[in-house]
Structure 1
Amino acid sequence: MDISLSSDKEAQSSSTDDKRGGWITFPFIIVSMAGLILAGGGVFGNLIVYLIEVFHLKSIDATQVSNIVNGGSSLIPIIAAILADSFLGCYSVVWISSLVSLLGTILVSLTAILPSLRPQPCQNGPVCKSPSKLQFGVLYASIALASIGQGGMRFTVATMGASQFHKPKDQGVYFNWFFFTYYIVAIISATAVVYVEDNVSWAWGFGLSVVANLLGLTVFLLGSQFYRHVKPERSPFVGIARVVVAAIRKREVNLSSKSEDYYHGHDGVTTVATSSPPTKSFRFLNHAAIKTEGDAKSDGSTAKPWKLCTVQEVEDLKALLRIFPLWSTSIFLGAPICVQANLVVLQALTMDRRLGSSHFRIPAASMLVFVLVSTAISLIILDRFFWSAWQKLVGRPLTPLQRIGVGHVLNITSMAVSALIESKRRSKSISSVLWLVPQLAIVGIGEAFHFPGQVAFNYQEFPALLKNMSAALTAMVIGITFYLSTALSDLVRRVTGWLPDDIDDGRLDNVYWIIAVLGTVNFGYYLCCAWFYKYQNLGGGR
């Protein structure tokens, strides 16, 4: 009787869940995402200026803090993805992360509202009072909470939105609107909210972030009755760990060339049927799938999960190992962009930010909006014109790896242009902040090539059970690049005199040249990796 009642409840739950989802959830997902991203942009988009002007941090120290914060918020999606897939589900991760972000945003606002939570303004002269330990503690705690919340929500809400649709076509339309909204909101936060913070007050600017975060969380919860909830499954990383452990435990077992000597799973365990022995690459891992006495039960299931894995699980780990070299090249592809983003803000603070003869001054942090605008426009041009024209001209589409390669070239070009413009700025040959636009525009065009290319490559080439992690691992690259850029800036600062507190006394142009050279070396490494890589899902082409 109990079993029957349980089955009936599960059937009713499944039937109810099948009726949920679809386009009715779209307004709730997209509005909540917009509110949360706007809140994050309001807190982090102008953080360097806030640390310099209000908390009296030195300019390079402020950029280092910004790098650490952005890096942390980009690594959090990995943890969020594991929690969503293994324990909580996307819905719980999103609302919990949104609540944590709200708490952090409120605390940041309090540092701007309450005089006791920030140092006194600088008096006449260069000497400014440093923040107290309490003030630093509240500031860093608030930034950490906002960073954790934003990182946990950002990619999880995208995955949850896609899971509301069954048809790939609907999912594609959803992602188009999702990223379009993302860029529009990012532009608004980098202009309107930053303008309020710079020209009205920090309290009002951060207050807008609080309202946006609260609105996003509220709208998301209001749509709860319409969402389709995907039940969490065990983390795919457990399968990876099992292969490694099983291979080590069976390292003394002789490998075989016969398919029947390897474990291929049984119905209900493996989703991909295979009757071939494991591939010869990374042969050590094949030990994990070879059968020995007592490894399997009479029904064919695994008796010792940490001693016997399927051939498919072994091949999945091998696929990740083949992708890893290409994945690693993206780390130094993004690091120069992070360095440039911080240095551009410092450069803008020393330049004439007025538009013509008007009294309006472009906020220094808003200069980065030119990257967003350039990327958005480039994405439209590439999608509507360039891809089809390329296919007609060449006879085949541009592969993901080719798109990433173009991004490498444009990134190096941007660093070279940045060096030339900086040398002109130091010599006082130019003064208008608009001279910084070309280098930012080139970065945006490059991002339109390499970022979608990276996402497409990961999604196509990652094993089936790990596709949900591909976006989170892309975020992981972004996080690592922020930390790498921090380490790179700190190394240059210690070894040379190119990054002093007053950049007019430094040599930012040399920093850009060094980055351009390192980017060129990294591009050579990328070409080698791309040449030897064989696509798993694109017919083996390069």
Structure 2
Amino acid sequence: MDKFETDEKPIMKEGALSSSSLVSNGSVNFRGRIADKRTTGGWKASSFVIANELAERLAFFSIAVSLAAYLVLKMNQSLPTAATLMTNWSGSAFLLTIVGAFLADAYLGRFGTIIIFSCLYSIGMVMLTISSTMDSLRPPPCRVRPCVQPNAGQNAFLTGALALIALGTGGIKPCVSSFGADQYDEADEKEVKDKSGFFNWFFLAINMGAVLAVTVMAFIQDRLGYAWGFGIPTGMMIFSIVILATGMPFYRFKKPMGSPFTRFLQVVVASLRNHFRRVKVSHETELYEVKTKESDIHGAKKLFHTAQYRFFDKAAVITDPSPSDINTRNRWKLCTVTQVEEFKSLLRVLPVCATTIGLALSYSQVSTFFLTQAGLTDRNLGPHFTIPIGSVAIFTALDALIIIPIYQKWMVPLLRKFTGHERGLTSLQRIGVGLFLGIFSFVSAALVEKKRVDSFEEQHKMSVFWLFPQFFLIGSAEVFAYVGQLEFFYDEATDGTRSISSALFLSEFGIGSFLSTALVKIIVRSTGGQETGWLRNDLNKSRLDYFYWIVAGIDIVLFFVFLWIATRYKRRQNGSVADESMLELGGNINANEDRR
């Protein structure tokens, strides 16, 4: 929809609303009417979303930091097996974001999807808590090796609980950040600035949840056991649903726009159909678009034609100009320019998505090998207190609590003077900084692990604080890359693909987890197995530092590929695309548009 005029304030009847106070993007309030900026959206709405995310992330991270130890100590699994199951569970949770995103964009809307999948999530948490409290759902304690393995029923109950948690996480993750960003009108300059701040504070909430999980919850679990360690997060997950529901009167809702995957497939089919009919595309070729004010995709703005991926323009070529053919509206034969450009927008972000998977692979090591490494260090703080293993991950989360307020308050205004960019750094620049820091995290991890093993051989236990640099650097990498990706994938998405775009970014973490599992298996098998290879049950006899060097090498290669792609990326701007060099600091954008 076009932006409403704001220069004049017409005299309104009592009870009527000035058009300048209405949103320009067609969002509605909970009564189904066009949303009024004075009573909906902005910080008064997104604050509920941020609070919901904090509670949900506390629940998730409480499970994540304790699950590997629970599998080893209570379910009698070996360390490599537990690490593999942990990464597979985490990976599945992030890959299932595609399911949640599809349902949100096509049928349920983002709010409805969050509520439904949060309920499934809560059921899984309840089941996991029951598993930790009932002896019949666990194998007997391991006193003599080989340990008694869980039976089929015990495995099935635990797997069902973890599957529901993964499905719930996958369903809500691509929707929460997008739903929060939906509370800001892109045609309002003030709200656009606030939206950038929302992404930073949203990520801060994620890390606040992580800090509480690895400190308070890890301490409770260590002192009171897994029943409390899983039970309290279950209560927090249920509370997160209440928080989100409380904000309903203040939200702006965007109606679902039908299946984006169907529209994507229609573009591919129509393009191939015309290609085999030897249809050519040139600057003089007439492309089809509806004559209405809005696009043919209900609730979505029209998009300008762009010169990239011209092959798919064939889907919009009018091969038979007779009105009867056009009016059939058979999108499997003829697509609109907007529908083609929607598909192009997805294709445009795929290379960026592929090159940032390395950071997801790296981050998978935090909850597995990083924490296992920490368990073999001296974690004593004085004679009476020992840092719980799970709490060591606070090194990762604390830097976010420090960096984000500093970045938002002081660094953004400073960087803005040099770059001319409203956010200080472009989203691609932020991602690049994150990838760069991720490399040094694993360089540090490799060097420290070599020193730790040498100290063990000398009968000296290394202090856990030697691990601080690798945790801090991977946390800093996530601060820059994660927020940059949130901004990038939301901004580059079209009206009908916001959840899908967020899911595409989040699925990187799932793919990274599975790649980590594959990499571990390859290294174990190629270096002599779990008894003599680089990665053994006993890390003191392993060569974990070699594994870290391999991960660092992968990160270096992907970082340079990312630089090459980012300097050539053409970003969306007001429905068109423009060149954005990730390394350009002048803030100037060279337009390269082909509008029709």
TM over 0.5: yes
Question: Please, what is the CA RMSD of the aligned residues?
Answer: 2.8
How far does residue 37 in structure 1 lie from its aligned partner after superposition? 2.5
How far does residue 451 in structure 1 lie from its aligned partner after superposition? 1.8
CA distance in 1 between partners of 2:238 and 2:416 (Å): 46
Contact 2:29 2:35 in 1 (8 A): no
Contact 1:455 1:470 in 2 (8 A): no
**Cα–Cα, structure 1 residues 295 and 244, in superposed 2: closer, same or farther, change >3 Å?**
farther
User: Residue type matched to 2:539 in 1?
Assistant: I
**After superposition, what is the alpha-carbon deviation per residue over 1:196-237, rounded to whole angstroms, capped at 9, x for unaligned?**
112211111111122212222334445556654432211323
**After superposition, what is the alpha-carbon deviation per residue over 1:164-219, rounded to whole angstroms, capped at 9, x for unaligned?**
45444554555444333332122101211121112211111111122212222334
Q: Which residue number in structure 2 is paired with residue 540 of structure 1?
A: 579
User: Residue type matched to 1:159 in 2?
Assistant: S
Q: Which of 105, 120, 128 does residue 147 from structure 2 map onto? A: 128
**After superposition, what is the alpha-carbon deviation per residue over 1:226-257, rounded to whole angstroms, capped at 9, x for unaligned?**
65443221132322211101011111232142
**After superposition, what is the alpha-carbon deviation per residue over 1:373-406, rounded to whole angstroms, capped at 9, x for unaligned?**
1123222232233333344456665333232222
- Aligned: 1:426 with 2:453: yes
**Cα–Cα, structure 1 residues 406 and 90, in superposed 2: closer, same or farther, change >3 Å?**
closer
Contact 2:97 2:172 in 1 (8 A): yes
Q: Which residue number in structure 2 is paired with residue 33 of structure 1?
A: 53
**Aligned positions of 1:43-122 closer than 5 A:** 43-122=63-142
Q: Secondary structure at the match of 1:358?
A: coil
- Aligned: 1:382 with 2:407: yes
**After superposition, what is the alpha-carbon deviation per residue over 1:131-168, rounded to whole angstroms, capped at 9, x for unaligned?**
11111111111111112112222342333344345444
Structure 1: gaps spanning 5 or more residues: 1-9
CA distance in 2 between partners of 1:127 and 1:93 (Å): 45
Q: TM-score, normalised by structure 1?
A: 0.89
Q: Which residue number in structure 2 is paired with residue 364 of structure 1?
A: 389
317-326 or 233-242, larger mean C-alpha shift: 317-326
Contact 2:178 2:490 in 1 (8 A): no
Q: Which residue number in structure 1 is paired with residue 544 of structure 2?
A: 508
Higher helix share: 1
- Aligned: 1:207 with 2:238: no
Q: Which residue number in structure 2 is paired with residue 346 of structure 1?
A: 372
How far does residue 28 in structure 1 lie from its aligned partner after superposition? 4.8
**Cα–Cα, structure 1 residues 236 and 208, in superposed 2: closer, same or farther, change >3 Å?**
same
**Cα–Cα, structure 1 residues 450 and 176, in superposed 2: closer, same or farther, change >3 Å?**
closer
94-103 or 319-328, larger mean C-alpha shift: 319-328
User: Residue type matched to 2:520 in 1?
Assistant: S
Q: Which residue number in structure 1 is paired with residue 289 of structure 2?
A: 264
- Aligned: 1:404 with 2:424: no
Contact 2:104 2:499 in 1 (8 A): no
CA distance in 1 between partners of 2:580 and 2:75 (Å): 54
CA distance in 1 between partners of 2:322 and 2:509 (Å): 41
CA distance in 2 between partners of 1:248 and 1:273 (Å): 22
Contact 1:265 1:301 in 2 (8 A): no
Q: Which residue number in structure 2 is paired with residue 243 of structure 1?
A: 267
**After superposition, what is the alpha-carbon deviation per residue over 1:334-381, rounded to whole angstroms, capped at 9, x for unaligned?**
2122124410111122222111x2322112122222111112322223
Contact 1:353 1:362 in 2 (8 A): yes
User: Residue type matched to 1:217 in 2?
Assistant: I
- Aligned: 1:148 with 2:167: yes
Q: Secondary structure at the match of 2:570?
A: coil
Q: Identity over aligned residues, as a percent?
A: 32
User: Residue type matched to 2:432 in 1?
Assistant: G
**Number of residues paired by the alignment?**
527
Q: Secondary structure at the match of 2:330?
A: coil
CA distance in 2 between partners of 1:303 and 1:168 (Å): 36
- Aligned: 1:447 with 2:478: yes
How far does residue 512 in structure 1 lie from its aligned partner after superposition? 0.6
CA distance in 2 between partners of 1:11 and 1:43 (Å): 35
**After superposition, what is the alpha-carbon deviation per residue over 1:80-138, rounded to whole angstroms, capped at 9, x for unaligned?**
12111211122321221111111111111111111100111122x44422111111111
Q: Secondary structure at the match of 2:100?
A: helix
244-253 or 413-422, larger mean C-alpha shift: 244-253
CA distance in 1 between partners of 2:534 and 2:323 (Å): 63
User: Residue type matched to 2:547 in 1?
Assistant: V
Contact 1:21 1:165 in 2 (8 A): no
CA distance in 2 between partners of 1:171 and 1:325 (Å): 25
How far does residue 445 in structure 1 lie from its aligned partner after superposition? 1.6
**After superposition, what is the alpha-carbon deviation per residue over 1:502-530, rounded to whole angstroms, capped at 9, x for unaligned?**
11111000001111122212222222222
User: Residue type matched to 1:405 in 2?
Assistant: G
